[in-house]
Amino acid sequence: MKLYGRLSTWVMMAFLIILIILTGFITSFTANRTSNDNWREELEKENESLKSTVSSMPDVETSKEQYANTIKINEYRLEHNIPPTQTTSLWGFMSSAAGLISVISLFTIVIGGGMVSTEFSEGTIKLLLIRPSSRWKILLSKYISTLLATLFMLAILFIVSFIVGGILFGFTGISEPYLRYINGNVREVSMVGYVFSLYGYNCVDLIMMATFAFMISTVFRNSSLAIGLAIFLMFTGSTLVMALSKYNWVKYILFANTNLKMYAEGAPIIKGMTLGFSITILIIYYILFNAISWIGFSKRDITA
Amino acid sequence: MSAQPVIQIRNLKKSIGKKQIINGISFDVYGGEVFGFLGPNGAGKTTTIRMLLGLMSITEGEIFIKGYSIKKDFEKAIANVGGIVENPDMYKHLSGYKNLVHYARMYPKIGKQRIDEVIRLVGLENRINDKVKTYSLGMRQRLGLAQAMLNSPSLLVLDEPTNGLDPAGIHEFRNHLRNLAKKENTAVFVSSHILSEMELMCDRVAIIQNGKLIKIQTLNEMLDNKADEAVTLTVEPVDKARECIESLNVNYKPVVKDNKIEISIKYENIPDMVEKLVQAKVRIYGINKSAGNLESKFLEATGGNKIA
């Protein structure tokens, strides 16, 4: 009730919805509507340029594998006569709208980063804790509140982008396949599955950042610090990992493991990392964050 | 007063780092009494209250509320308690009503009826649906009292509760607390600096200084310490009156304060003194019995003006 009673929460949601609608309009008006005839030529050209790029690249470059995959996928398309997904189709729009999940990340960080610290800064924590509820229960309910809000925003993103995409681009093409390179073969996967998986992969980063912001909020009792720190890390985290990618210990840093999509595409950041490894690292960080939050809240005196 | 104490504090100690803030306090508070908790700034009043409410951890010693330990059985202990610590900060972006609903939900069985009852008790019916940020200080204080009473507590813990109330509010508050104590047998634990209010309200009083309990007595015991009456005379001219009184009896030691004279004298000797003064042509404007008041006792016990 407290979260949804705040005007700022609703403003964020409204902002999200407006962004989705805007993206829809922009996409529809500026994208090139390639006619179906040309796509074969385009793909062939793309493949040639990619092949030449690949052959001149040293083996260490991680993007080399990605380019190799794209070449294989394009060849598949040419063989099976499947045009590439237009961004101006329903599913194309929805997959690009999934990029707005990073906007949701920002909002989630704001919500999570303020959860505990505003109770302290407003002084309401005193009245909250003299109730017959142990501290961990109160902390847990706040955390769940943050996660639920995230879920709610994701649902809004999905539904609204579906509606907007459908209105602008028509509801055809629902059964279009998505092509994916798995273990040396190109496979057809349903688009719905693909979009869901996009959301799923992005959720990993989302949840970790929200948990992190929540933790800083609880330990330092300062919203600005929590939100600032989390946003900073969100933006610089993956850059940092890229920059340090020549060191092997990079794989222990959180941000090297949040983009699980890289395993599906068959191209992890550091050679030798597996899905299992990343998941283990993620779980360890997750438990660490929550443990710190719990200790920081349950054991300390309230002097505010 | 009921037999089993509602609060039992045993050898309570609190230190932060190397500093000992509370140095071994023990006392009991019973249902049906209004218990005053006094002390100079920095004595440890707020710390004790926060430990009582579970907001601060206890370094050593025990606090039992209705027999439940705050340390070991927090939820059961605190279920019987309602409190206000310093300012009752509420969620400003919600209405008073929603604030109460929020807290009511944290208890097992508080329904709409109780919430409405509590609103009526504090007199906030007209403004209860407005956002708290529009409330005046007095209204917030009343809302604070309302949330403290939601669970019909056996113990009410109040830290500076009349802060910001207008005189009518203070009067009402005082009556309300005394009613709660007498009719509902609630134990009311109040901490305040406004000694005149405490004097009107409390049954027993404890004075704390430097983390130690230096006095704990019923109010009556504290105030009526003298065998003689303390009498204050408003007279003119003051010096003549003083000489006159001194000449009556070598033991009399009148103290001059502005245009008043204070003197300890036996009840039955008062008329003689007055007669003597009139004969000496001293003009008498007023004769008052000054029971030593709480303020003077307090200052006497704590030795004046030092902050710990």
Percent with pLDDT over 70 in chain B: 93
- CA B128 to chain CA centroid, nearest Å: 28
Of A94-98, B73-77, B213-217, the poorest mean pLDDT is in A94-98
What is the enclosing helix (H) or strand (E) of B23? strand B19-30
pLDDT at A35 over 50: no
Percent with pLDDT over 90 in chain B: 4
Task: Calculate mean pLDDT across residues B81-99.
Answer: 84
Contact at CB, B98 and A7, closer than 8 angstroms: no
Task: Calculate mean pLDDT across residues A129-155.
Answer: 83
Percent with pLDDT over 90 in chain A: 0
Task: Calculate mean pLDDT across residues A143-163.
Answer: 79
State the residue range of the domain holding A265.
Answer: 2-35+86-299
Task: Calculate mean pLDDT across residues A22-37.
Answer: 52
Residues in B closer than 8 angstroms to A124, CB to CB, are 89-91
Helix B137-149 vs helix B96-104: crossing angle, to nearest 10: 20
- Reduced to 3 states (helix: H, G, I; strand: E, B; else coil), residue B236 is strand
Contact at CB, B54 and A134, closer than 8 angstroms: no
Nearest to B39 by CA among B187, B159, B167, B178: B159
The C-alpha of B107 sits at a distance from chain A's nearest C-alpha, in angstroms, of: 7
pLDDT band at B1 (very low <50, low <70, confident <90, very high): very low
Q: Which of A122, A134, A301 sits opposite B74 (nearest CB)?
A: A134
The C-alpha atoms of residue A221 and residue A113 are separated, in whole angstroms, by 9
pLDDT at B283 over 80: yes
Residue A80 located in a structural domain: no
- As for the ipTM of the complex, it is 0.73
Residue A41 located in a structural domain: no
pLDDT at A123 over 70: yes
pLDDT at A33 over 60: no
**Tokens matching residue B80:** 């019987």
The C-alpha atoms of residue B37 and residue B159 are separated, in whole angstroms, by 9
A138 to chain B: closest CA residue = B106
Domains in chain A, number = 1
Contact at CB, A124 and B91, closer than 8 angstroms: yes
Contact at CB, B55 and A301, closer than 8 angstroms: yes
Residue A266 located in a structural domain: yes
The C-alpha atoms of residue A95 and residue A180 are separated, in whole angstroms, by 14
pLDDT band at B261 (very low <50, low <70, confident <90, very high): confident
The C-alpha of A232 sits at a distance from chain B's nearest C-alpha, in angstroms, of: 29
Please tell me the predicted confidence (pLDDT) of residue A207.
Answer: 86
When the pLDDT of each residue in chain A is averaged and rounded to a whole number, the result is 72
Residue A105 located in a structural domain: yes
Residue A43 located in a structural domain: no
User: Chain A within 8 Å of B89 (Cβ-Cβ)?
Assistant: yes
Q: Scan residues 122-141 of A and list those with Cβ closer than 8 Å to B.
A: 122-124, 126-127, 129-134
The C-alpha atoms of residue B303 and residue A94 are separated, in whole angstroms, by 76
Residue A40 located in a structural domain: no
Angle at B25 between CA B22 and CA B31, to 5 degrees: 125
Of A45-49, A184-188, B37-41, the poorest mean pLDDT is in A184-188
Please tell me the predicted confidence (pLDDT) of residue B157.
Answer: 92
Residue A50 located in a structural domain: no
More confident residue, A174 or B173: B173
When the pLDDT of each residue in chain B is averaged and rounded to a whole number, the result is 83
The C-alpha of A138 sits at a distance from chain B's nearest C-alpha, in angstroms, of: 10
pTM, 2 dp: 0.75
pLDDT band at B308 (very low <50, low <70, confident <90, very high): very low
Residue type, position A68, single letter: A
Residues in A closer than 8 angstroms to B91, CB to CB, are 2, 5, 122, 124
- Maximum average pLDDT range among A30-44, A174-188, B14-28, B263-277: B14-28
pLDDT band at A32 (very low <50, low <70, confident <90, very high): very low
pLDDT at A36 over 50: no
The C-alpha atoms of residue B242 and residue A51 are separated, in whole angstroms, by 117
Contact at CB, A130 and B57, closer than 8 angstroms: no
More confident residue, A190 or B269: B269
pLDDT at B52 over 70: yes
Please tell me the predicted confidence (pLDDT) of residue A132.
Answer: 84
Do the bridges between strand B34-38 and strand A185-190 make them parallel or antiparallel, or are there none, so unpaired? Answer: unpaired
Give the Cβ contact number of residue A153 at 10 Å.
24
pLDDT band at B122 (very low <50, low <70, confident <90, very high): confident
Q: Which of A1, A127, A131 sits opposite B89 (nearest CB)?
A: A127
User: Chain A within 8 Å of B163 (Cβ-Cβ)?
Assistant: no
- Is the peptide bond prior to A132 cis by the omega test (within 30 degrees of 0)? no
Give per-residue pLDDT as tens, A198-236. 788 788 888 888 888 888 888 888 888 888 888 888 888
Residue A26 located in a structural domain: yes
Residue type, position B161, single letter: P
User: Chain A within 8 Å of B78 (Cβ-Cβ)?
Assistant: yes
